[in-house]
Amino acid sequence: MGTVAMLASFLISFAMAAPDRIDLPIEHSKDQGGHAIDYLGNREYVGYGIVDITTKRRQQCRELHGRFQSLQRIERDELQSNNGRHGFVAIVIPGIRPFLARAYRAVHRDNLWRYDKRCGAEAMATRDWLRQDNKALTDIIMKFQGRALMIVPPQLPDSPIPVAYTDANRPKRLDKYAGLGGYVVFPSGEITFWHIRLPRRIVQTVPIHVTERLAPEITLAVTPALQHCQLLQRIDNMAATCSLQRQRSSDPRLQDLELIHLHQTGRKRVSTLTLWIDTKSNLWADLLSRGEIEEFKRLARAAGCVSLTEIDLARAMIPRDLPDMFRRLHTMTSLLPSKTRLARP
């Protein structure tokens, strides 16, 4: 019996090692190019270097779409859960986050929600814009067929006007580095960049979307070459991006920063255009906000930067009114009702 088991084991091993040399059926539909790793509803085919979303996640999105089209009222918890599912999909599929922006903001707006006795939870009427955004999301997800999983070499933006990138880093642990950073790439290939560590009182009180909105104003204030020109601003925070695009906000802290923006752009004769950028594509600004200055310099030089100008705000004390900006944001936050301090506009 042992000899038979050994022979069977040998034949199976031989078939797996050289299937074309032995007449055994092979199930090609199970070929996944090596290891397939599922993580948070996404699937990586390691052998092929491809990333996709799982069949289960795709089916969930299809079911959500059908539910949204017929749903008359939606619970707040359900909308937040749906945003989370689509957020994981956005890690893989580019172009999704703009269609999530309104749903993200709606979850944080208390005035949209009323307690519904029928469901025993906060709910609101399912708005037409919610159905339209969900349909656009579903169309993108259903058409997606995977993309290459690769490391893109660093490169400078190909733009005829200066491009500014900014980011804010706010770790949950207070002993970790929390900072702001930004850089401007000029058409000549020169880069001016700045960075600063956030005061602890700001980390503890002022929410991330406010510090993200503050960063572009610092860039305008500390970059002398930004005068009498057009400027493209790239920000990876949707609330800050929308505030700059609409030039208005329900958040008094962003209203204050908008007045600063109008003053700066008017004084320096700068015309700005603001566009959202996904976090993964904003790697260089992210490094500056984390205090990883040498790694930023290495990537910039590898991308062909001809000149690097560094501005350490803590050492140069530029801009002079920055401590006052921090103080005002901290004071305004402390005066707001507790429910609205962390809410996005």
Pair type for strands 179-185 and 50-53: unpaired
Helix 252-268 / helix 238-246 crossing angle, nearest 10 deg: 60
CA distances from 189 to 143, 159, 285, 311 (A): 37, 10, 17, 17
Q: How far apart are CA 266 and CA 65, in angstroms?
A: 45
Q: How many other CB atoms are found less than 10 A from the CB of residue 320?
A: 9
What tokens does 212 get?
């993200």
pLDDT at residue 29, rounded to an integer: 42
pLDDT at residue 343, rounded to an integer: 47
Convert the pLDDT of each residue in 253-281 to its tens digit. Answer: 888 889 889 989 999 999 999 999 888 78
Q: How far apart are CA 238 and CA 136, in angstroms?
A: 18
Q: How far apart are CA 209 and CA 251, in angstroms?
A: 10
pLDDT at residue 285, rounded to an integer: 94
Residue 75 clears pLDDT 60, i.e. is over it: yes
Q: How far apart are CA 61 and CA 66, in angstroms?
A: 9
For residue 137, which of 94, 91, 96 has the smallest C-alpha distance? 96
**Out of 139-153, 235-249, 310-324, 330-344, least confident range:** 330-344
pLDDT band at 120 (very low <50, low <70, confident <90, very high): confident
The percent of residues in the chain predicted with pLDDT above 70, rounded, is: 78
Geometric angle at alpha carbon 214, from 133 and 250, rounded to 5°? 50
pLDDT at residue 43, rounded to an integer: 64
Q: How far apart are CA 154 and CA 298, in angstroms?
A: 10
**Are 265 and 244 a contacting pair, CB within 8 Å?**
no
Q: Which residue has the higher pLDDT, 312 or 37?
A: 312
Average pLDDT over residues 32-38: 52
Residue 324 clears pLDDT 80, i.e. is over it: no
* Adjacent-strand bridge partners of 194: 182, 311
**Are 171 and 178 a contacting pair, CB within 8 Å?**
yes
pLDDT at residue 163, rounded to an integer: 96
**Out of 23-32, 61-70, 191-200, least confident range:** 23-32
DSSP string covering 255-281: HHHHHHHHHHHHHHTEEEEEEE--GGG
Average pLDDT over residues 301-326: 78
The helix or strand, by DSSP H or E, that contains position 52, with its residue range, turns out to be: strand 50-53
pLDDT band at 33 (very low <50, low <70, confident <90, very high): very low
For residue 228, which of 298, 308, 162 has the smallest C-alpha distance? 162
pLDDT at residue 341, rounded to an integer: 46
Residue 288 clears pLDDT 90, i.e. is over it: yes
The helix or strand, by DSSP H or E, that contains position 243, with its residue range, turns out to be: helix 238-246
Between the two ends of the chain, the Cα-to-Cα distance in Å is 74
Cα within 13 Å of Cα(212), Cβ side? 25
Convert the pLDDT of each residue in 196-205 to its tens digit. Answer: 998 888 888 8
pLDDT at residue 83, rounded to an integer: 84
Convert the pLDDT of each residue in 228-254 to its tens digit. Answer: 999 999 999 988 998 899 888 888 888
Average pLDDT across the chain, whole number: 80
Q: How far apart are CA 43 and CA 40, in angstroms?
A: 8
pLDDT at residue 22, rounded to an integer: 39
